[in-house]
């Protein structure tokens, strides 16, 4: 992992993702979670203040040590016990059925083997466990899609592997039953990067 990915990009991402409207999206996504939760792509810990008291333990996964370093202050301030794991989501070192819920926010766009990661998330959830997601991806407008396909190679380079053109609901639907899905543009964001997928899926 190079200097840009480990040192510069985590700081850029932390600054860009601290918007009030994104915080509100985080809060509503996480509000009903309970029990032991796995967060994929923990990043700099911006979700942490929004987890409700019903969460008994949070286990986090992220492969970037620079992200983890920035998350330490938020972890120290959290009333929820947090166990951090510096690893990627394609090979989770947890037993089958370990977690009540899993969370992914703006993460599935950048996982190289995203299908393998989703299989792993499915495996470590308990039967009936919930997977809550808030992601950006391929628009439903052909004109925007064309630009997303064109800019994805640049995004992969400068946004640490981010794909602008993944159809998130279809990827998740291969492995889970999607029980709620909202698709929308984030106000004030560029349309090629601001088409959001928010929802809940269950392990059947």
Per-residue pLDDT tens digits for 124-183? 999 999 999 999 999 999 999 999 999 999 999 999 999 999 999 999 999 999 999 999
**Percent of the chain scoring above 70 in pLDDT:** 100
pTM of whole model > 0.85?
yes
Q: Is 160 in a helix, a strand, or coil?
A: coil
CB 45 within 8 A of CB 74: yes
Pairwise CA distance, residues 28 & 51, whole Å? 10
Question: What is the distance of C-alpha 126 from the center of its chain?
Answer: 19
CB 119 within 8 A of CB 178: no
Mean pLDDT of the chain: 96
Mind listing the pLDDT tens digit for each residue in 15-37? 999 999 999 999 999 999 999 99
Domains and CATH numbers, the chain: 3-202 (3.40.50.150)
- Please report, for residues 21, 38, 58, 75, the alpha-carbon distance to residue 83 in angstroms, rounded to integers and kept in the order given: 27, 10, 6, 9
Does 1 have pLDDT greater than 80?
Answer: no
């Amino acid at each position: 992992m190079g200097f840009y990915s480990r040192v510069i990009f985590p700081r850029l991402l932390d600054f860009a993702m601290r918007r009030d409207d994104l915080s509100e999206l985080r809060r509503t996504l996480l509000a009903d979670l309970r029990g032991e939760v796995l967060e994929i792509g923990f990043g700099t810990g911006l979700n942490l203040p929004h987890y409700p008291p019903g969460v008994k333990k949070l286990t986090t996964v992220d492969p970037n040590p620079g992200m983890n370093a920035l998350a330490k202050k938020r972890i120290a301030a959290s009333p929820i016990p947090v166990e951090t794991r510096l690893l990627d989501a394609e090979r989770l070192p947890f037993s089958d059925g370990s977690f009540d819920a899993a969370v992914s926010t703006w993460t599935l766009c950048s996982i190289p083997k995203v299908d393998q990661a989703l299989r792993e998330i499915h495996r470590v959830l308990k039967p009936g466990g919930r997977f809550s997601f808030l992601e950006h991806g391929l628009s439903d407008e052909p004109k925007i899609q064309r630009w997303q396909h064109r800019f994805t190679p640049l995004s992969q380079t400068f946004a640490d592997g981010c794909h602008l053109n993944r159809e998130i609901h279809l990827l998740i639907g291969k492995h889970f039953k999607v029980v709620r899905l909202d698709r929308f543009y984030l106000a004030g964001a560029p349309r090629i990067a601001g088409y959001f997928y928010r929802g809940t899926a269950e392990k059947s």
